[in-house]
Amino acid sequence: MLIARTVDELRHHLFAFNKPVFVPTMGNLHEGHVNLLRLAKPLGDVTVASIFVNRLQFLPHEDFASYPRTFDSDCQQLQTHGCDVLFAPDESTLYPQPQTFKVQPDPTLADILEGEFRPGFFTGVCTVVLKLFHCVFNGGAGVAVFGQKDYQQQLILKHMVQQLAMPIEIVTGTTTRAPDGLALSSRNGYLSPTERTEAVQLSLALRSLAQAARAAKTTGSLDVAAAENHAMQSLRHRGWQPDYVTLRHAHDLSAVTQLSDQAMVVLGAAKLGTTRLIDNAEV
C-alpha cells in the first residue's frame, strides 16, 4: 500500500488509473470500515482510503482532541484488506489556510436530527468530503463508499454530488454490528464495560419502533408521536439521555404523519454517560 501525505503525491499515485473507488475515514478503523473496503474493492480499478480527523465537523465542546488516533494499526488493517493507496494528510496540508470557504448543504436535510444537535456538523462534513473528492478524483469520475450507520450523512452526500453535478457515485454499505447488535463505531471505545453492555439498547429501541411501523402498515394506524415518545422514555428510564428517536421518510428524512408504502427509517441519537451514539433501523 502506498501512503500519500500530500495532494501531489496522491495524484501521482493515482495518475494511471481511470476509476478510483474511495473510502473516506477518520481512522481508528474497525470491522465496519473493513467491510466498506471489501464493498469498495470490486467497484473501481484502484482502492483509496483516507484518514483525516476533520476539525470542521466537531463543535468546540466535542471530542476532536481526544478522538482516537491509531495510525499504525489502521495502516496494517488497510494493507491486510487490499487498500492500494492511503491518503493521510495532516491539517496543514488539507487546510493550509483557515477553511473559510465552506459547502452549505440544504438546511431542510442538514439542519434537522444530527444537524439540530450538532449545528454546522454537515457543513464540516460536506466541506471536507468535497475537498477530499477533489484530491482523489481530480475532477474525474469514481465511486465513494460510506456507511449506513451515518444515514443522514450518506443521504446529504448523495444530494451534494447530484446538485453539484459531480461524476461520483455514492455507494452505501450496510451497518456492521457486534454480535449483540451494537452498531460498530469508533466512539464505542469510550464506553465503560457496564455501558458497553447497555449500549445495544439504542438499536433495540429503534428496531422495536421500526417493527411497530412495519406492522402498522398492514394492520392499521400508528400514533407516530406517541411511539417515538415511548421509545425515548424507555431509553430515559434505562439512564440514557436521548436527543431524538424518530420515524422518517427514507428518501428525504421528512416526518411521517401518515403511514404509506413509502420507505421509512427510524433514526436515533442518545447519550450514555458521556458517549453519544447514533443508529438507525429501516422499516
**Does residue number 150 form part of the binding site for ligand PAF (CB under 6 A)?**
yes
Contact flag: residue 148 with ligand PAF (CB under 6 A) = no
25 contributes a contact to ligand PAF by CB under 6 A: yes
Among 10, 21, 26, 202, binds ligand PAF (CB under 6 A): 26
| From 14, 36, 49, 125, residue interacting with ligand PAF (rule: CB under 6 A) | 125
261: DSSP letter: S
CB of 190 to ligand PAF, least distance (A): 16
Query: 124: how many CB neighbours lie within 10 A of its CB?
Result: 19
User: Is the CB of 164 or the CB of 225 nearer to ligand PAF?
Assistant: 164
CB 103 within 8 A of CB 160: yes
Q: What are 234's three cell numbers? A: 424507555
Closer CB to ligand PAF, 54 or 148, in the complex: 54
155 SS3 class: helix
Query: Which range binds ligand PAF by CB under 6 A, 23-31, 38-46, 224-232, 237-245?
Result: 23-31
Q: Report the interhelical angle of 121-137 vs 151-163 (nearest 10°).
A: 60
Spatial contact of 267 and 278, defined as CB atoms under 8 Å apart? yes
Q: What are phi and psi of 57, to 5 degrees?
A: -100, 10
Comparing CA positions, the residue from 243, 258, 171 lying closest to residue 206 is 243
Among 10, 14, 21, 24, binds ligand PAF (CB under 6 A): 24
State the minimum distance, in angstroms, from the CB of residue 1 to ligand PAF.
18
Please give the C-alpha separations between residue 271 and each of 190, 201, 248, 262, in angstroms, as whole numbers: 12, 12, 21, 30
Q: Is 134 a catalytic residue?
A: no
Catalytic residue among 13, 30, 33, 81: 33
Which C-beta is closer to ligand PAF: that of 128 or that of 224? 128
Residues in the interface with ligand PAF (CB under 6 A) total: 10
Q: Tell me the per-residue interface mask from 47 to 86 with ligand PAF, x by CB under 6 A, - otherwise.
A: -------x--x-----------------------------
Strands 20-25 and 46-51: parallel
Q: Are 91 and 24 in contact (CB under 8 A)?
A: no
Crossing angle of the two packed helices 31-40 and 71-80, in degrees rounded to 10: 40
Active site residues: 33
Residue ranges that bind ligand PAF, judged by CB under 6 A = 24-26, 54, 57, 125, 128-129, 150, 153
